Structure 1
Amino acid sequence: MEELNSPTAEPALPTTPEARAAYIKAAQTKPDLDALRRLFAAELKAHPALPEALAPYHAQSTSSVVSMYASAKAAAFIKGPYLAQQAGAHFIEVREAAAHDLWEIQQKKLFDLQCRWRAEEITLPGLRHSEEFRQWEKYVDHCPWLPPVTADEVALYEAYLRSDHYEPNQNWAWQDYSRFRRTAEVGDHDPDDDDEAEAAADDDGYEAATNRAYRRLPAWYQYHNEATGQNLLLTLPDVRGEKEAYYIGLTEADKEEKLAAQRARGDMAASLPWHPLIVHRDDLTPYFRQFEEAADLPRLLRWYAASRQDERRRHGYLFEARHWMEKALEDQAAPWPIAAHADWRQALMAAGMRAWGHQLAGVLTDVWQEQEQNRALGLPVTGPKTYGTRPPFAEVNWAEEETYHPKFILRGRELAGEPRDFSF
């Protein structure tokens, strides 16, 4: 009679400290929860203190106690290292974010200087034109006109982080004076802004709300103004801006005159409009229909529709609610209040942002002191948060970085019969 194959024997348990360490490492790497359970159960059964510990209890408790103990210990060995690493990563994330956000203090100082410089209340060494504030925005950690952050400024920023006014850094264009001033004058809804048209198809108002937030003065600026009584800085006359606009206007008028002459000669190339895809690139379906093969089109359109749906999912209130729940609320040691709101997603977002602000506030002073100590010792300090690539400050050729704005000013100076410089 043919014998049945015997069950595969369980691997032998280690008998030396070296073999035990290797056994545990292999089980953690695989991971193999059962292997660790067997090891820890065997070790507990062999522990000399176990009989005495279980003596006061029913004899049949022993197997359950050993099993539960070994399972809990095995789970800790499998999940613990990763979870501990995650906790450490969150600790570092909060401190790094606080170090980045301290530079908002310097951005506000720079913006205040810009308001006063535009009003011609002050001069700033080496500054040539208003667009240079946008360049210093990217390199605020190298700006020569800003005094170091003080303890009082850190205390005010900490109060802001703990306040209901706190809004996490949204990659604001910190020195976009023209946009902030226009919003202050005409309100959040700018009829001349292309973003308004693009947000019209927004189902739940998320895109429109985001666009309005970018147009407004950053939340930290508003909080600082209220706390320090500097609300009137943005209302100072933009004397310098008006002078620059005059010269830019001369250049634009000259350009339009030359284009009109070209059109009169039948040369329309320079007067043609930009392709609408460049400005409104939200839906490429019409262009796919125009250029793709008919046989391939249905599949492409299905995939493209799915891709657009996924993109919208990643940029709406639901995505933001999940983001802030994972980023801040999951790490709250104690219950955290959630204010009433008609939209539960926005309620979660607001609660998560406030929790994050409090987490930053809890480490802010320590981080600032650490940064100041590093600076005093000549050690690296954490700079402002950057988006995209930012060449090292020493390698930046500011003339090459200039937009049309200063170039049009210089051309306007020439057209006015004045020196080609910024001394006006």
Structure 2
Amino acid sequence: MPDPSHDEIKQDLLTNPRYAELFAPYHPEAVARFAGNYASQKFEWQWRGPKAEYSQTEALTQLSEAAYCRLWDIQRKKLFDLQCRWRAGEITHPGLNCTFDFGAYDAAIENCPVLPPISPDELAMYCDFVRQSQDFDADVLDCYHTEAYGLPRDWQDYHDLRLHAQEEAADLPDDERRAGDPPAWYDFHNLRTGHARLLALPDLRGPLEQPYLQAYYAHRQAERAAGPPVQPPADARPTFLTVAQQEALEHALLHQFEPPKLRRQRAAYLAEQAREAADEQVEADFAYLKTLGPDEIVPLEAAADWRAALRQAVVETRRHQLLAHLPQVYEAYLLREAQGISHPEADGPQWRSTYAKGMRESLLDGRELLGQPRNFDF
């Protein structure tokens, strides 16, 4: 049944005897004016209210989903520490057979069978990390992406993280480093637990896989060589430029071949782009603040740049909301654990599961090619 119109609402108020006692103390003219105003308001409530309810519910849902995704950062760090110890031969587990298992478990971290449940102390440590994060957006909210290309970060990339630790220990200049930065949560966790030492453990297991992978790759190469001849590329030089190479070429062109006028125009253009980006950030920040409930307090600190003050206010509000929702999603997590219910899949890097399964098969193929059983007993 459709909602009544404005006129129907007003007519009901003025003629329905059930309202007689409520309106008796007031003059009929006052009641008529009230009925007209109330009918207008009720019509608005019925028309716009459902959308407002949906927006409020959606905002709360998004907050809970963000907190739920972050909860699994705790398990990803535990899985990486487990990988370091497993590679060094410190521990074994029936669910761990090869190094590629860690990528597969990371892709399904919500129900990883080789990790113990999240403890209250682990949640408390992660909440401390959220509170103390200096770059909350990059370190917490957007922690699955790299800075350069926005590609999903591999939280189980043992070789890259170990190389980063070695480059840090050697104090290499930034332009000589090849490893990416680890997740900020890893650094925080290591400082609290001393688990940075795990990266110094020897990798005993990884090298054992190499002969089988080499046999597999050699077999694939022989198969390709036996097929139709593949024309070598006409130019072996790389067809992809890194960000640093693009910037170097641009700088060379501007200063060796272009007039000063173009360099001034470029500087003006980049300044304009920066202003537009700042305006877009302001619009995004205001859009976020509009989703907050009327009881949400958003303090604004004094600052020379009001945009910076607004940005910091939004960051701190999002930090506060995440800290408020993490205990809630953890309680739901504990309830599912107690009842033996699988945890829902979170929003995270899922693509590595297919890669990990493919590499497991390649490893087993290599075993067969070398006359070994198709298993992981090596």
Aligned to 1:31: none
Preserved CA contact (<8 Å) 2:55 2:291: no
Aligned to 2:113: 144
AA matched with 2:362: K
Residue 93 (structure 2) pairs with residue 120 (structure 1): no
Aligned to 1:402: 358
Deviation at 1:153, TM superposition (A): 1.5
Aligned to 2:258: none
Give the CA RMSD over aligned residues. 5.1
Query: Which structure has the higher relative contact order (CA within 8 Å, separation 6+)?
Result: 2
Unaligned runs of 5+ in 2: 145-152, 244-272
Deviation at 1:121, TM superposition (A): 3.0
Deviation at 1:115, TM superposition (A): 1.8
Deviation at 1:81, TM superposition (A): 1.6
Task: Check 1:139–1:379 CA distance in 2 against 1; reply closer, same or farther (3 A cut).
Answer: closer
CA distance in 2: counterparts of 1:319 and 1:245, whole angstroms: 49
Preserved CA contact (<8 Å) 2:214 2:366: no
Task: Check 1:245–1:155 CA distance in 2 against 1; reply closer, same or farther (3 A cut).
Answer: same
CA distance in 2: counterparts of 1:352 and 1:163, whole angstroms: 16
Aligned to 2:344: 382
Structure of higher CA gyration radius: 1
- Mapping for residues 16-31 of structure 1, pairs under 5 Å: 22-24=2-4
- Mapping for residues 344-383 of structure 1, pairs under 5 Å: 344=307, 351-383=313-345
AA matched with 1:73: K
TM (normalized to structure 1)? 0.58
CA distance in 1: counterparts of 2:206 and 2:38, whole angstroms: 73
Determine helix, strand or coil for the equivalent of 1:155: helix
Q: 1:108 aligns with which of 73, 77, 81?
A: 77
Determine helix, strand or coil for the equivalent of 1:146: coil
1:5-44 deviation per Cα after TM superposition (whole angstroms, max 9, x unaligned): xxxxxxxxxxxxxxxx6442xxxxxxxxxx42x3444455
Preserved CA contact (<8 Å) 2:110 2:343: no
Task: Check 1:373–1:258 CA distance in 2 against 1; reply closer, same or farther (3 A cut).
Answer: closer
Task: Check 1:42–1:184 CA distance in 2 against 1; reply closer, same or farther (3 A cut).
Answer: farther
Deviation at 1:103, TM superposition (A): 1.9
CA distance in 2: counterparts of 1:350 and 1:86, whole angstroms: 24
Q: 1:168 aligns with which of 122, 138, 141?
A: 141
Task: Check 1:352–1:178 CA distance in 2 against 1; reply closer, same or farther (3 A cut).
Answer: farther
Task: Check 1:419–1:236 CA distance in 2 against 1; reply closer, same or farther (3 A cut).
Answer: same
Aligned to 1:80: 49
Aligned to 2:256: none
CA distance in 2: counterparts of 1:318 and 1:182, whole angstroms: 39
Q: Is 226-235 or 99-108 further displaced after alignment?
A: 226-235
Deviation at 1:137, TM superposition (A): 0.7
Residue 58 (structure 2) pairs with residue 89 (structure 1): yes
Task: Check 1:371–1:418 CA distance in 2 against 1; reply closer, same or farther (3 A cut).
Answer: closer
Aligned-residue sequence identity (percent) comes to 27
Aligned to 1:227: 192
Task: Check 1:338–1:379 CA distance in 2 against 1; reply closer, same or farther (3 A cut).
Answer: farther
Task: Check 1:378–1:344 CA distance in 2 against 1; reply closer, same or farther (3 A cut).
Answer: same
Residue 14 (structure 2) pairs with residue 52 (structure 1): no
CA distance in 1: counterparts of 2:132 and 2:174, whole angstroms: 26
AA matched with 1:105: I
Preserved CA contact (<8 Å) 1:329 1:352: no
Task: Check 1:407–1:275 CA distance in 2 against 1; reply closer, same or farther (3 A cut).
Answer: farther
Preserved CA contact (<8 Å) 1:130 1:241: yes
- Mapping for residues 413-424 of structure 1, pairs under 5 Å: none
1:324-355 deviation per Cα after TM superposition (whole angstroms, max 9, x unaligned): 6545673161124469698948x766654443
Aligned residues: 324
Task: Check 1:412–1:381 CA distance in 2 against 1; reply closer, same or farther (3 A cut).
Answer: closer
- Mapping for residues 295-310 of structure 1, pairs under 5 Å: none
AA matched with 1:138: A
1:366-420 deviation per Cα after TM superposition (whole angstroms, max 9, x unaligned): 3222232233234453333345679xxxxx9x898223x87379759978x9988
Which one has the bigger helix percentage? 2
CA distance in 2: counterparts of 1:327 and 1:258, whole angstroms: 57
Deviation at 1:138, TM superposition (A): 1.0
Aligned to 1:297: none
TM (normalized to structure 2)? 0.63
Deviation at 1:222, TM superposition (A): 2.3
AA matched with 1:335: V
